[in-house]
A and B are shown apart, each in its own frame.
Chain A
């Protein structure tokens, strides 16, 4: 298995499909809902809580068609099979209560129509929901106090075949008319509903979608895979790449002519297909990982990467249709729901299949990788993965027999959910795709493209730093490094500006504080649920200025939450949907750190109080939830600290390159920082000073100070002062620097420490701001005494005559004077 890994499946939740009557993946809350004996089990990535909800009013014999849980998990909307109404279950009392009771029932006005079917129920927020039937789209509101479901709006169509919904954009696309070729879009904004102009799709919606909604086909499918619902791949999907929202149509005829069509959705319209990705051999599925579009060709077992950056399709934007090796399923963070479920038996088939694949060399035909480059990294990767012990030992004895990694191949039965989840209904696991940035980035040969590519990835920070470090250690051309530093600092600069904007004392700022406070409050309330965000109050109150969203689709693992801040007073301009959330995504790193510190404390508390395996597993899930720090534009922000710690210091320690080169690299970095007006941290100066002194480049050091490349700071001044034995002028450079910083006391101390007492005294006399105080006098006298220079001693003691005679504590100098010179000072 010495194959490089590009795509892997992370943190699977493994369950025994035979144990449950019904299960589905809930895309909004990113959890799997499993039903067994009237009890719903919900295990999610977003919410660490593994909870069970008892549905006492559900009859075991009922077939469930749909269960939809509100974002705050207070309500459950349930549609029983063949029913024309849905029931709303309320979880009573606190969130911890495990029982949900039926409270309301809603029946559509059109329920009596022929063949009326409820297609699905989507939540707009905690109290608003959308009911999609084969004739209508209904916008409903739960009046909690009146215990009523109020219909706000209804949109009628002659026929609705299916719907694609984006929770974060509150956008729903309906495929209507006879063949489902006509697409209608509705966006539910706080105050209005915007209808997007209808658009005719270039190709009809794939048959299977219709089948899903077809009752007969539904029944057939139920027979096939018993009572499981909601696991059929759709062919019309809403995806977000960078700041753009697209409608992706998967056109698959099952024959050779399969392709993906992307329609861009702007605020006003759904544009004509602007991108057609052809040449797929068979059926395929798509995922979005870290703003990259992944196309899984189910027949040839390949996954291809598309980096679609802008509206225009540049040659480099479809970066590399890569052929992919078997996917690894990492079991390190696996969560086993059913203890007796033997996953390995199911997976053995896969392993066998995989061996065959190894012989199948034609998979590599599309590849343009530098094999050697990747191999090393990959080996490290493997070692790392294997090196980590499996902590799940106690959960299941069989597990020990399992390898920590499993190599799988795409299965046709897998259901793909956006952005990057897959559900295997047969084996019984749910997991999400992740890409191995290290190896993927290594595939991009062009260094500029590679850097650009990495900057836009979610957790590429360390990969980026690693690439930088390697580049430096390989004596990369300075021009290229210069370009890299410029990108880094350009982004850093933008991020800095964004933060300033953020901190400006306007309304949103207050709101943000409020939000932060609220968050803490919530955390306190739900100590065991630090990641549980109560959305209700804010959605209710602040439609305009602040929205706290779970950024479900955004970035990478799909399990990251971003707090987004929306400025309502922003001048109106043509925006795209994506803008609403991303333009102001400003993640304050400190805040995050605070948060993680809090989390850690809570974690510790939790460990003490209630340490069971489940909690440990949950913690592990939580560890995945790391916030990448990104600029407002969605680029990774690298700070001076990062480069210093992970690049320059390491390079210096490894000593693979000449100091001269490192000085050049540092100078390039400092040049770039200066160019972008970023204040430079003293540690960079310290490092460059250290290197210059080590190589006896004193003249350069002086020039750096002379041209103000090295900014004045006391820290640097002290460092320079310490160099005066090697380079005497350094003392004066240091003193000059201290003077510019108005640190007169340090100057005096420095002069005294170098036995330059006379200069010190002269300086004191000349500088009006300094008052001669006892400690200074004492240190001058003490130094004079140590210097053992009678002439200096004579003059200095004479100079301080008045003080010496006046204060008892200076008596020893008086005695010393009389002893040495044999005359009394008093005369």
Chain B
């Protein structure tokens, strides 16, 4: 597979069919199209294709279809708000094959996962919502033109930060699972953190919520699960997207500082915000604010972004991020809290948390190397659907290469996660009562697959857990895989009920 050309971003667009009343105004329905260089004709063709497909699929199911597999490209589409469709087109990975003297592209059209790509779409909408709320709101409050300008500002930057190459677990299964990586913390430390958060809240009553990340691991969140996931995703993919662990040597040197455009502009720019934070994150200084009172070129600048944490929570928050080495504290303040523009507020806050944050950070850095025994024996990815915890344990001495495994893993996960969304549909259909029984009986689902390179992957889904187990033993049969599975589940689920 050396000469496999990885999947690539093809295009992304947003349309709303209701914006076009007649054929003359057909182009009005395209609200955003990227890359902008695409011809209008192609734009209209693609929009038309999706419009037709979604309408047509409704005659088979009450659920609109959400993907289209073609030889060269994969289409995924998602309707976050009524009539607003987000469409992503990805070109399939391919290899070159010689046919006589001719070099022809041979596309691998089953290597991409709908679940992952859909999740990418959902995530993009989620982040957009955090800063701008719904498309409809923008149209209602302003105009379609305004919406277009916002989208044109937001998406090109956002999309440029996404890796569509499908080359790592993070980009594939991980994204599809859409989970949170928790930091394993001893209960005493956890309580200490919790109490520090409480103290911050009681000292600054305007602080309504808080969240603490240790690198890309969640330590603490006062939000409910769904909101935590959104914020976690925002932090990991956007703020800490380029962030490398302190353990990597290049830390702090890697990224040259990006000059921000329109620094003085009063209009909120997502790009400026994220680039600004990323610059500060890369700064090796031990403790400082990333948003709030920040020191830019020896000048204190107070800038606080306003965000909405989830669609179900209409509360508007002002976000202050404080960094202490590789520990990130997010404080969510009630909108329009007073004193936020005074430096004294940040000084007071910093005095309260500084020492404790340092000490917590120290403890977390020291306690990171402890790994559970089971982790070294098995290679697995685990997801808990209650707290959305996701965990990846891949043995460093493994005999397989990840690039070999990923396509297989993607296939297994795609199949397994697809089931999740299908069950409710079936249940409503009286004709498939029997099937329903089978499905219920069949929970947990289990998929066992073997690749050409003799890597076995077991995917299993129970009511609350999903895991993928990778075995690299050669010349084993299904029975011994079954035995290994038993060993694994009794080790991992020793303390948990596992149906």
722-781 of chain A: CB within 8 A of chain B: 729, 732-733, 735-736, 738-740, 747, 758-759, 762-763
Q: Does A664 contact B (CB under 8 A)?
A: yes
Q: Which residues of A contact B220 (CB under 8 A)?
A: 703
CA distance A735 to B499 in the complex (A): 11
Q: Is the CB of B191 within 8 A of A736?
A: no
Q: Is the CB of B202 within 8 A of A477?
A: yes
Q: Is the CB of A482 within 8 A of B195?
A: yes
653-686 of chain A: CB within 8 A of chain B: 660-661, 664, 667-668, 670-671, 674-675
Which of A699, A747, A795 interacts with B437 by CB under 8 Å?
A795
Known: A707-B185, A758-B440, A791-B434. A674 touches B191 (CB 8 A): yes
CA distance A732 to B497 in the complex (A): 7
Known: A675-B188, A699-B223. A762 touches B499 (CB 8 A): yes
- Min C-beta distance of B82 to chain A, whole Å: 28
Q: Mark B461-474, 1 if CB is under 8 A from A, else 0.
A: 00110000000000
Q: Mark B160-190, 1 if CB is under 8 A from A, else 0.
A: 0000000000000000000000100101101
Which of B187, B221, B437 interacts with A674 by CB under 8 Å?
B187
Q: Which residues of A contact B191 (CB under 8 A)?
A: 667, 670-671, 674-675, 709
Q: Is the CB of B192 within 8 A of A671?
A: yes
26-78 of chain A: CB within 8 A of chain B: none
Q: Is the CB of A708 within 8 A of B386?
A: no
Q: Is the CB of B437 within 8 A of A792?
A: yes
CA distance A738 to B495 in the complex (A): 9
Q: Which residues of A contact B221 (CB under 8 A)?
A: 699, 703
Q: Mark B241-260, 1 if CB is under 8 A from A, else 0.
A: 00000000000000000000
Q: Is the CB of B497 within 8 A of A763?
A: yes
**Number of CB contacts from chain A to chain B under 8 A:** 93
Q: Is the CB of B202 within 8 A of A702?
A: no
CA distance A664 to B499 in the complex (A): 36
CA distance A733 to B464 in the complex (A): 11
Q: Which residues of B contact A707 (CB under 8 A)?
A: 185, 187, 190
Q: Which residues of A contact B463 (CB under 8 A)?
A: 732, 759
Q: Which residues of A contact B18 (CB under 8 A)?
A: none
Q: Which residues of A contact B190 (CB under 8 A)?
A: 703, 707, 709
Q: Does A545 contact B (CB under 8 A)?
A: no
Q: Which residues of B contact A739 (CB under 8 A)?
A: 495-497
687-740 of chain A: CB within 8 A of chain B: 696-700, 702-703, 706-709, 729, 732-733, 735-736, 738-740
Q: Is the CB of A729 within 8 A of B464?
A: yes
Q: Is the CB of B224 within 8 A of A699?
A: yes
Which interface residue of B194, B201, B387, B463 has the most chain A CB atoms within 10 A? B194
Which of A661, A667, A698, A758 interacts with B224 by CB under 8 Å?
A698
Known: A482-B195, A736-B497, A791-B433. A708 touches B187 (CB 8 A): yes
Q: Does B63 contact A (CB under 8 A)?
A: no
Q: Does A608 contact B (CB under 8 A)?
A: no
Chain A interfacial residues counted at CB < 8 A: 41
Q: Mark A780-810, 1 if CB is under 8 A from B, else 0.
A: 0000000000011001000000000000000
CA distance A709 to B195 in the complex (A): 13
Q: Is the CB of B198 within 8 A of A736?
A: no
Q: Does B225 contact A (CB under 8 A)?
A: yes
CA distance A70 to B194 in the complex (A): 61
Q: Does B441 contact A (CB under 8 A)?
A: yes
CA distance A733 to B386 in the complex (A): 9
Q: Is the CB of A758 within 8 A of B441?
A: yes
How large, as a class, is the contact surface on chain B?
A: 35 or more
Which interface residue of B389, B436, B463 has the most chain A CB atoms within 10 A? B463
CA distance A804 to B222 in the complex (A): 52
Q: Does B199 contact A (CB under 8 A)?
A: yes
Q: Does B341 contact A (CB under 8 A)?
A: no
CA distance A342 to B434 in the complex (A): 98
Which of A477, A668, A703, A795 interacts with B203 by CB under 8 Å?
A477
CA distance A707 to B185 in the complex (A): 7
CA distance A747 to B499 in the complex (A): 12
Q: Which residues of B contact A670 (CB under 8 A)?
A: 191
Q: Which residues of B contact A736 (CB under 8 A)?
A: 495-497
Q: Is the CB of B496 within 8 A of A699?
A: no
Which of A700, A709, A732, A763 interacts with B386 by CB under 8 Å?
A732
CA distance A667 to B199 in the complex (A): 11
Q: Which residues of A contact B434 (CB under 8 A)?
A: 791
CA distance A670 to B464 in the complex (A): 29
Q: Does B228 contact A (CB under 8 A)?
A: yes
Q: Which residues of A contact B228 (CB under 8 A)?
A: 699
Q: Is the CB of A668 within 8 A of B195?
A: yes
Residue of B nearest to A696 (CB): B224
- Min C-beta distance of A481 to chain B, whole Å: 10
Which interface residue of B228, B463, B499 has the most chain A CB atoms within 10 A? B499
Q: Which residues of B contact A477 (CB under 8 A)?
A: 199, 202-203
Q: Which residues of A contact B198 (CB under 8 A)?
A: 478, 664, 667-668
- Min C-beta distance of B69 to chain A, whole Å: 35
Q: Is the CB of A671 within 8 A of B433?
A: no
CA distance A709 to B220 in the complex (A): 13
Which of A475, A479, A747 interacts with B199 by CB under 8 Å?
A479
Residue of A nearest to B188 (CB): A674
Q: Is the CB of B201 within 8 A of A702?
A: no
- Min C-beta distance of A365 to chain B, whole Å: 38
Known: A671-B195, A699-B223, A736-B497. A664 touches B201 (CB 8 A): yes
CA distance A105 to B496 in the complex (A): 83
- Min C-beta distance of B453 to chain A, whole Å: 32
Residue of B nearest to A759 (CB): B499
CA distance A323 to B23 in the complex (A): 96
Q: Which residues of B contact A763 (CB under 8 A)?
A: 497, 499
Q: Is the CB of B188 within 8 A of A671?
A: yes
CA distance A791 to B495 in the complex (A): 32
CA distance A664 to B207 in the complex (A): 14
Residue of A nearest to B190 (CB): A707
Q: Which residues of B contact A703 (CB under 8 A)?
A: 190, 220-221, 387
Q: Is the CB of A478 within 8 A of B202?
A: yes
CA distance A482 to B191 in the complex (A): 12
Q: Which residues of A contact B389 (CB under 8 A)?
A: 706
CA distance A738 to B225 in the complex (A): 24
Q: Which residues of B contact A664 (CB under 8 A)?
A: 195, 198, 201-202
- Min C-beta distance of B233 to chain A, whole Å: 16
CA distance A699 to B210 in the complex (A): 13
193-229 of chain B: CB within 8 A of chain A: 194-195, 198-199, 201-203, 220-225, 228
- Min C-beta distance of B190 to chain A, whole Å: 4
CA distance A708 to B495 in the complex (A): 12
Which interface residue of B195, B436, B440, B497 has the most chain A CB atoms within 10 A? B497
Q: Which residues of B contact A706 (CB under 8 A)?
A: 182, 387, 389
CA distance A199 to B497 in the complex (A): 76
Q: Mark B446-488, 1 if CB is under 8 A from A, else 0.
A: 0000000000000000011000000000000000000000000
Residue of A nearest to B490 (CB): A766
CA distance A729 to B226 in the complex (A): 14
CA distance A333 to B88 in the complex (A): 88
B interface residues (Cβ-Cβ under 8 A, vs A): 182, 185, 187-188, 190-192, 194-195, 198-199, 201-203, 220-225, 228, 386-387, 389, 433-434, 436-437, 440-441, 463-464, 495-497, 499
A interface residues (Cβ-Cβ under 8 A, vs B): 475, 477-479, 482, 660-661, 664, 667-668, 670-671, 674-675, 696-700, 702-703, 706-709, 729, 732-733, 735-736, 738-740, 747, 758-759, 762-763, 791-792, 795
Other A-B contacts than A660-B201, A708-B187, A792-B437, 10 sampled, CB-CB below 8 A, are: A664-B202, A668-B195, A670-B191, A700-B222, A703-B220, A736-B495, A736-B497, A740-B495, A759-B499, A763-B497
Instruction: Pick 15 A–B contacts, CB within 8 A, sort by A.
Output: A664-B201, A667-B194, A668-B195, A671-B195, A697-B224, A702-B225, A703-B190, A709-B191, A729-B464, A732-B464, A738-B497, A739-B495, A739-B496, A739-B497, A759-B463
Q: Which 4 A-B pairs have the closest CB atoms?
A: A671-B191, A664-B198, A735-B497, A729-B386
